[in-house]
Amino acid sequence: MYEDELVEIAVEVDGEAAEAVVELFNRYNGGDWIEDSAAGEASGGGAVVESTGYDDFGSPLPDQFRMVVKTYLKPGPRGCGIRRQIEEGLWRLSLLYPIPEPVARTVKEEDWAHAWKQHYRPLRIGRRVLLTPAWEEPEAQPGDLVVRLEPGMAFGTGLHPTTRLCVAALEKWVPSGGAFLDIGTGSGVLAIAAAMLGAAPVWATDIDPLAIRAAKDNALRNGISLSPDSLHIQRGSVPAGCAGRFNVIAANILAEVLVDLFDCAYDNIPLAEPLAPGGHLILSGILEEKSEMVLAAAERRGLKEVERRQEGDWVALVVRREHAR
């Protein structure tokens, strides 16, 4: 293998398994291409999520939709070690999700650096929000809010139904001048959209340092200043010391994680604690079959369902805090 070549590991998955595989790839192969002085190699490559088979409105086409998660390894002993960790992790995930054997091939590093961009295009989500890759010039209409993203190798561009459901809910429930919190921000798309819709201040959290970097870069790319009074992005989950502070909270995470956050399974601040009386909590990343489980967890915290949105098998719940607890 030549120095300018990489090993691509690809797994075709469904929507729920995709998030687990992305987390696995980022855990073992996340970060920048940073020189390792001991091994004389570079490590890190994150994850690429390639989604194809959408119609002009961004909805998956039956029998055409495909989602493939990829990661890229440098050659050498370190890369081989990371590959073994990834393959073992995928085997363990296959006990929980329908994950096939990974497919490995050799690619040129120059091709890798640009090939993933071809899968992203401008996409309207909601009534006003137009999501576009930073390298595109979309045909925006008067009143459109154009969110420009450079998703990098680890985070999505809004193509997933869960993101679209969240943005549509933001357009309805985010009040101008109201405080907004995005838990698990990823690329920062929801926080940026909320800021453009007039929310202030906007806070965003993520446990992944790569996500924090991507979200900050995307915020600046959209002309949004980073400050506690404008858009504040920090590492972590549910922020402490913010009880009753936010008018709207969004959490686009897996259903099981949402339940655990409500029930403080991670020794965390309760998911609903930062929500103001009369505020709305947007819960997404939920498969239809698990929506009642999430709703029950929300109701245990005194929240009441006010809206339910669905696209395919994916559901977003909007729950309201009627009174301070």
Q: How far is residue 191 CA from its own chain's centroid?
A: 11
- pLDDT greater at residue 267 or residue 324: 267
Whether the pLDDT of residue 72 is over 80: the answer is: yes
Mean per-residue pLDDT, 71-97: 88
pLDDT of 132-155, one tens digit each? 888 888 888 899 999 998 755 445
**Which residues are registered as beta bridge partners of 182?**
204, 250
Given this model, what pLDDT does residue 320 score?
98
Q: Residue written as tokens 């980073």?
A: 226
Given this model, what pLDDT does residue 37 score?
31
Given this model, what pLDDT does residue 76 score?
82
Dist. CA 75–CA 43, nearest whole Å: 9
Given this model, what pLDDT does residue 211 score?
82
Q: Residue 124: pLDDT band by 50, 70, 90 thresholds? A: confident
Mean per-residue pLDDT, 116-145: 81
Query: Domain 123-321's class?
Result: alpha beta
5-117: what fold? Alpha-Beta Plaits (3.30.70)
Given this model, what pLDDT does residue 222 score?
95
Q: Where are the domains of the chain?
A: 5-117, 123-321
- What tokens does 320 get? 């309201």
Dist. CA 183–CA 237, nearest whole Å: 6
Given this model, what pLDDT does residue 219 score?
96
pTM beyond 0.85? no
As a three-state string, the secondary structure of the chain is CCCCEEEEEEEECCHHHHHHHHHHHHHHHCCCCEEECCCCEEECCCCEEEEECECCCCCECCCCCEEEEEEEECCCHHHHHHHHHHHHHHHHHCCCCCCCCCEEEEEEHHHHHHHHHHHCCCEEECCCEEEEECCCCCCCCCCCEEEEECCCCCCCCCCCHHHHHHHHHHHHHCCCCCCEEEECCCCCHHHHHHHHCCCCCEEEEECCHHHHHHHHHHHHHCCCCECCCCEEEEECCCCCCCCCCEEEEEEECCHHHHHHHHCCCCCCCCCCCCEEEEEEEEEEEEEHHHHHHHHHHHHHCCEEEEEEEEECCEEEEEEEECCCC
Asked if 128 contacts 171 with a C-beta cutoff of 8 angstroms, the reply is yes
